[in-house]
Structure 1
């Protein structure tokens, strides 16, 4: 199989920024979240606004050409749910069947349902995404399309209302089962409309981020910004079910592979000779990595999030695994934090992995990025080895570093691609490597301060300015190939 070299973008982080504000999407949860006065005042978000962004919506042809000039043959992007359906789709009535556990087993979406959805869709946005995909195909790219990359329509998830009153909020996102049904309607519609231009489908990007940052870490600036372990547990199960039912819906209209993109994070015990730390690392793996890996690939569902699996075959739905890898975790034991989530007996050790200080050195003498993330290439090898246990096609769907001065990035790319090559040499079939990102982007709660791009973007002129060392490094690696 051809090896795919690519770049990645998500809709919310890249699209907005046109000078006349004609392409703003005001209908997503994140749009409301980042401009909330409480969030800005309390520095939960940066105060930067996505409408000041890089304007990929208008400039996608330029970005596609930059990717082509790098020698890339694949491109990964997101279709934004809130652009396709800015208003609710509740009125489209579909049949829902359940299994013996009360979980949704089947969602029947008929042709007439799709025609009803077509009446509700924003056809300007449908045509825009069709044009984007047509241009990619015209340039010879293999296309990877993600259907949910952290954002949801405001009518599905109103994070400000959820934070104010969780019980009374009407739009609670992945905590509520109705979100599964509406998501599957959207997915079926997109598969029906876009399939001829899509080569690989992904249902979710990093679903555990929604859980961990949204419901267990209210201080990090992720919607809805509450501490609610019960909600976290429900969001896990509902997203697992949503993936499986979305898989079935896509397969009604597409023969293309359908996968899921996870940020598989290898966890290492702070003291490998201390059984408690070793167990903490095991529990981290079970919680962060295995909940989705086991459910979608083997039908092993941890309904109570205790480490005990129930076999539910209709949730075993997956063709490929995307691994987003940036850094590792080093963890130590803590007493169980939440009665509802007994697996959470771990905490990250300061200085390592995602818990480092920006532009410094970790305790293991590894450099850290502008974000404070530790550079640890071996973790890409270890995390992908874990994915390989499930005997699916594997792609490195995100890998990159926040490095505005382009000091660490060239070496970072070389060292991480070397790990991909080592995997292949050791018999692990990795089908592609996608760099995050082609250009700078809007980095969620951190705004524009964090710069991941091979190309810097002038936020006034929107000019794409190459970070030459990284651009030349990636281009050279692609030209030489992985073998």
Structure 2
């Protein structure tokens, strides 16, 4: 290992029960978008629309994990990673979103699970990682209240078919992102805009999270059930009251809107009044059906945002000051590199009394990677991981509840609207040849976990 990669902590300091893993998502890695009975997802349709994906990149092949899963899982084993998080493609199992099961899809995930277990790697399944069936979007998608029962039925099918071997489950991935970017800003699939669409999507995804968890609890004996939330450390640009209040509203939107109803606290509309409008979409039993006693909560933290007041931004009256304008280091996603953010978010979520266990279910960075002499010497990513893992250890040593850390991600992949441009992987992928090269960051993580 290079001298720059020395760290003053060890895996052992986290304890024997701490979970070390790597996270992936079906749509971003699988490819094989129209084989073996798979149906269209909203991302298949969105990506085909002109101008929606950077440089027109298309996800049809992605990383070809569908055909190369044994090789990629072998890489997980080679890197000494003992936990593998992956999502199930809703349209691979239910091509129309509901109705007839595609048993070729069931067989595929059975083979993935069986090979993980054969390799001594624990599978962690995410039921929903953004790839809603297009057939359901034609019926309103997350704006249609019926999606709660559609999602419950889908979750039950997942539990019945895979729950005999998979104990660890995550219901949803980052609902704030797929509702905000997909149903308010229109930047992600399905490309809808508007406050009404957004508020309906918030409420229905909250209800669906609980319905999915209940389906898992009913079907999987001794299941370890969680769900994941994106979170970002928010600070005001200065201590002027208007900027402090603006930061509080952004923090409420990004970090509190989804976790608090799940914990039985309701939507935090006192600090973000626009959320009060959700009440018009609620029914008498909804408040009870928004809460669930999860075994763990997964948080996914990458950066810090600096906020200032802005009367021109509707609903939140705030805007984010870009990292590139603040003379701070930032990644290929234009996200500030700020390791204390992950410590601050662990501390923030520990303030909630209803969280039994807390895991970091995603953390990582995208930087431009260059192959030199057959190697990828990604010092920036390696340093990013070391510094963030160090902040996780700091939180743990101070007595905060944090029980695992999953790197985003195993291989470079299709990064949604950004296409193949941002590379997050511990493993480099040549998307023309599908060649894999373990990066220096992957080699460091392998040594750390040895």
TM over 0.5: yes
TM-superposed CA distance for 1:299, in Å, is 4.2
Partner of 1:46: 55
Q: Deviations over 1:77-125 (max 9, x none)?
A: 0011111000252xxxxxxxxxxxxxxxxxxxxxxxxxxx5xx100000
- Check if 1:287 corresponds to 2:253: yes
Partner of 2:144: 176
Alpha-carbon distance in 2 for matches of 1:86, 1:25: 5
Partner of 1:122: 102
Match of 1:28 among 29, 37, 41: 41
Is the 8 Å Cα contact of residues 75 and 144 (structure 1) preserved in structure 2?
yes
- Call closer, same or farther: CA 1:395–1:54 in 2, change over 3 Å: same
Is the 8 Å Cα contact of residues 16 and 53 (structure 1) preserved in structure 2?
yes
- Size of the aligned set, in residue pairs, is 414
- Call closer, same or farther: CA 1:46–1:392 in 2, change over 3 Å: farther
Alpha-carbon distance in 2 for matches of 1:29, 1:370: 25
Q: Deviations over 1:229-254 (max 9, x none)?
A: 11111111111111111111111101
- Call closer, same or farther: CA 1:126–1:14 in 2, change over 3 Å: same
Q: Deviations over 1:257-314 (max 9, x none)?
A: 221111111111011x211111111111211211111111234235896267999333
Is the 8 Å Cα contact of residues 378 and 419 (structure 1) preserved in structure 2?
yes
TM-superposed CA distance for 1:25, in Å, is 4.3
> Unaligned stretches of 5+ in structure 1?
90-116, 158-169, 357-361
Q: How large is the Cα RMSD of the aligned pairs?
A: 2.2
Q: Deviations over 1:331-378 (max 9, x none)?
A: 11123744xxx4x2221112x2xxx3xxxxx62x53211222111111
Aligned pairs for 1:455-466 within 5 A: 455-466=427-438
- Call closer, same or farther: CA 1:403–1:331 in 2, change over 3 Å: same
Partner of 1:145: 125
Partner of 1:252: 218
Alpha-carbon distance in 2 for matches of 1:23, 1:453: 27
Is the 8 Å Cα contact of residues 152 and 173 (structure 1) preserved in structure 2?
yes
Match of 1:434 among 387, 400, 406: 406
- Check if 1:223 corresponds to 2:189: yes
Is the 8 Å Cα contact of residues 151 and 211 (structure 2) preserved in structure 1?
no
> Unaligned stretches of 5+ in structure 2?
1-15, 280-285, 370-377
Alpha-carbon distance in 1 for matches of 2:66, 2:433: 15
Is the 8 Å Cα contact of residues 25 and 31 (structure 1) preserved in structure 2?
no
- Call closer, same or farther: CA 1:392–1:366 in 2, change over 3 Å: farther
TM-superposed CA distance for 1:26, in Å, is 4.8
Aligned pairs for 1:202-351 within 5 A: 202-218=170-186, 221-254=187-220, 255-271=222-238, 273-302=239-268, 306=273, 312-317=287-292, 318-335=294-311, 337-338=313-314, 342=315, 344-350=316-322
Aligned pairs for 1:362-381 within 5 A: 363=326, 365-381=327-343
Is the 8 Å Cα contact of residues 63 and 431 (structure 2) preserved in structure 1?
yes
Using CA pairs under 8 Å that are at least 6 residues apart, name the structure with larger relative contact order, 1 or 2.
2
Aligned pairs for 1:471-482 within 5 A: 471-479=442-450
- Call closer, same or farther: CA 1:458–1:349 in 2, change over 3 Å: same
Shifted more, 420-429 versus 221-230: the winner is 221-230
The secondary structure found in structure 2 opposite 1:288 is helix
- Check if 1:417 corresponds to 2:426: no
Q: What TM-score comes out, normalization by structure 1 length?
A: 0.81
Is the 8 Å Cα contact of residues 16 and 24 (structure 1) preserved in structure 2?
no
Q: Deviations over 1:140-177 (max 9, x none)?
A: 222211111111001111xxxxxxxxxxxx42211110
Match of 1:78 among 76, 82, 87: 87
- Check if 1:408 corresponds to 2:417: no
